[in-house]
Amino acid sequence: MSFMSLVRRKVRMAIAAQRRATANVRARVSNLMRNLVFCLTLLVSLAGARLAMAVDPLPTTIDNFFLHGTQPNMLAPGNGIIPAGDECIFCHANVSNVPPPNVRIGDEWRGTMMAQAARDPMFYACMEIAEADAPGIGDTCIRCHAPKAWLEGRSTPTNGSAITREDRDGITCHFCHRMVDPFDLQDESPSVDFFVLDELSSFAPAMSIDRGDPPQIGFGGNGSYVVDPYDRRRGPFPVVREGETPPPTAVDCDAFHFGLTLGKCEDDFGLPGACPTQESPFHRRADMCGTCHDVSFPHINYDAAGNPSFTGTGNAHPTGNKYDMAAEQRTFSEWLRSDFAQGQGVDMGGRFGSPGQTFVSDCQDCHMPRHELALGCEFVAEPRNDIPMHTFRGSNSWVLDAIAMHYGPDGPLPGFTVEPGPPELDALDVMHLQMGTLGNIDFLKKAADLDAELDDSATPGVFELKVRVTNQSGHKLPTGYIDGRRMWLTIEYFDCDSLPVDVLGGYDYATATLDAASTKIYRAEVGPDAALAPVVDLPAAPSFHAAFASAKYFDNRIPPRGFTNAAFEAIQSPIVGYSYADGQYWDDTYFEIPAGAATARITLFHQTTSREYVEFLRDNNPNNETDPRNKGVFAYAMWEAAGKSAPVEMAVIGADMPFLVVPKGDPNCDGRSSSDDIEAFVNVLLGFTQDPFIINTVDFDETGGVDGRDIQLFVEALLLQ
């Protein structure tokens, strides 16, 4: 090594040492400030919790939560909903292990939130508080989470205490495959459905109309489902009929379903007979999913001007239109007003969908893609390439694991009990639940893209880190239940020696605490409006009390392709406290680059349940003093046991190759390209260094190494100095 090289190295080491010392001081000061902010936030949170526990309930009854559709105890005698594990899985999971690859539809379903909707601890904890705030509201929750219980009359008491072990099968096969299209706009439903709807009379659901100008249809929601009172099962495929020439896609299952039909059935003419399987186009469309994935609270009514008010004790909602109620979630409507719902949908290049599929449209395309070639029933000989997966991938990343811990062979969770008898879930169930969690995490990683670049548009010559998050889903990101669900950016800065300089949006996994003040968080916040707030003794501000969510105070969740502000206002899913231009389905955030930073690692995280929300459920439960093992305490214990809803890395930049926040051509990290950088450039060119930072600084065209183009660009950088 030459004398000058040695001097330069010593100088670099001295500069690096000084930078590290400065960074350490800065970090200590920063940590002190953040700890102070955290303590103040905690005090405010605790004060808010005490205030929340003193809320005044609304004088509601179960009649306030009446919704149209099939009502409890309206199924024909002997035609109750089959627990999924009892009958359906026998034929649709016990498929022989012989080529071609076989589909165990029942096993796929086992590991999903659909199957566990009535075991979800968050469901019970939230419902227990909501019931105290607005008695009777649990009826609205139970109809979607435990439809067997609701249809068979066990939604009362409305706190869920009548739900049975069999009811906890959640969204069962038999329930979904007896659902009837309540509107049949294309006049393509099975002919028997006319009689089903006619018998409902005034209970038949009315089409929801949004609040746009002009208004548009919004289909159903709120669990206002129509279920065939008889055991006539429906599916997406044509059915083989005796004496008819079946289409190539037809299925021949009547012989099996006849033998397993519940009770007596009436045919299309009201005569006693068997219950034939029906082809249902409804089961191929997104509006079926919208039945439970657009949720509103009917005890709040919005007038024509958009002003909310309590409907009054015992009064059903005056219109029954979900868009005239308080919006709890609008996942289906967000899709309905996106490009995915138009024509053949959006070309996603294979990111979502079945093998070989590029355009995706309906919910089923992404959440129930088709198997490539498989058998779906034990008694079918010929494989198909159109059997939908029943994995129902979503974003929940911890509840399935918690359910496996408590209801599986190793349960119950210490300090809690389960019903007498064998565990509700066996070892096979636990395996599928674990697979479901992994599948959800993998699915989340497809929902967004992350890009970064240096940008000096604000102040020429002064670069900021510009981070773009692109929504690749068909609805807002994140979507669904608002409380506790969020997405955020974490930026980690490092110096030239890969030592930490600063962290924005840092997350403490031990305490489940996010440094929220330093980064961008994508979330929505709701609470009581100015008129309702004094009635329930809460401020007109964001609150976790779901039953009082009559106003939206903030929503910066990223909209999907095709977004317009007017359309999302019309479906009660506006952007609030933020802004997106019509057509924008991405978001840009600018971060200041701290002194001494040379590289950055940028991570987009998603979290199902924040610490703040689960602590609210624990601390504000109405049975807190009388029952220390209330549903809020139980949900918190499950959350804690399952890893505190550890955030999921949706996308990362700088994990393998450092992302530079210093100019290209500056491997010695002195802020400019100069003759001092030539030696490092040549070492990379000759393969003498494997330092990823140095390689990245001289890899101008970002091909992973140095080539002729990089030489040209490096020379140009030197000449500009």
pLDDT band at 267 (very low <50, low <70, confident <90, very high): low
- Rounded to an integer, the average pLDDT of 272-290 is 90
Q: Is the pLDDT of residue 654 over 80?
A: yes
pLDDT, residue 98, reads 62
Residue whose C-alpha is closest to residue 74's, from 180, 162, 218, 170: 180
Place of tokens 């992404």: 366
- Rounded to an integer, the average pLDDT of 197-223 is 96
pLDDT band at 564 (very low <50, low <70, confident <90, very high): very high
pLDDT, residue 97, reads 65
What are the CA-CA distances from residue 659 to residues 593, 670, 694 (Å)?
A: 12, 17, 11
Supply 101's token pair: 């690859």
Count, in order, helices (H) and strands (E) of the chain: 21, 27
Residue whose C-alpha is closest to residue 124's, from 163, 156, 154, 169: 163
- The whole-angstrom separation of Cα 292 and Cα 308 is 23
- Rounded to an integer, the average pLDDT of 698-708 is 82
- The whole-angstrom separation of Cα 472 and Cα 303 is 34
- The whole-angstrom separation of Cα 20 and Cα 90 is 64
- Rounded to an integer, the average pLDDT of 295-306 is 96
Q: What φ, ψ does residue 17 adopt, rounded to 5°?
A: -65, -40
pLDDT, residue 647, reads 98
In 320-461, DSSP assigns E strands to 326-329, 346-347, 359-360, 448-459
Supply 460's token pair: 């020429």
- For the chain, percent of residues with pLDDT exceeding 90: 68
pLDDT, residue 675, reads 81
pLDDT, residue 384, reads 86
Residue whose C-alpha is closest to residue 549's, from 40, 69, 129, 8: 129
pLDDT, residue 10, reads 43
Helix (H) or strand (E) holding 527: strand 524-527
Q: Is the pLDDT of residue 530 over 80?
A: yes
Place of tokens 């719902």: 341
Provide the mean pLDDT of the chain. Answer: 89
- Rounded to an integer, the average pLDDT of 553-567 is 98
- Rounded to an integer, the average pLDDT of 134-141 is 97
pLDDT band at 625 (very low <50, low <70, confident <90, very high): low
pLDDT, residue 9, reads 44
Identify which has the larger pLDDT, 440 or 673: 440
pLDDT by residue (tens digit) across 457-508?
999 988 999 999 999 999 999 999 989 999 999 999 999 888 999 999 999 9
Residue whose C-alpha is closest to residue 402's, from 436, 441, 368, 442: 436
Domain with CATH 1.10.1330 in the chain: 664-720
pLDDT by residue (tens digit) across 18-74?
444 444 434 443 444 444 333 433 333 334 433 344 799 999 999 999 999 999 999
Supply 29's token pair: 């000061």
- Rounded to an integer, the average pLDDT of 75-93 is 84
pLDDT, residue 261, reads 72
Fold topology of 664-720: Type 1 dockerin domain (1.10.1330)
Q: Within a 10 A sphere around the Cβ of 261, how many other Cβ atoms?
A: 19
Q: Is the pLDDT of residue 684 over 90?
A: no
pLDDT band at 86 (very low <50, low <70, confident <90, very high): low
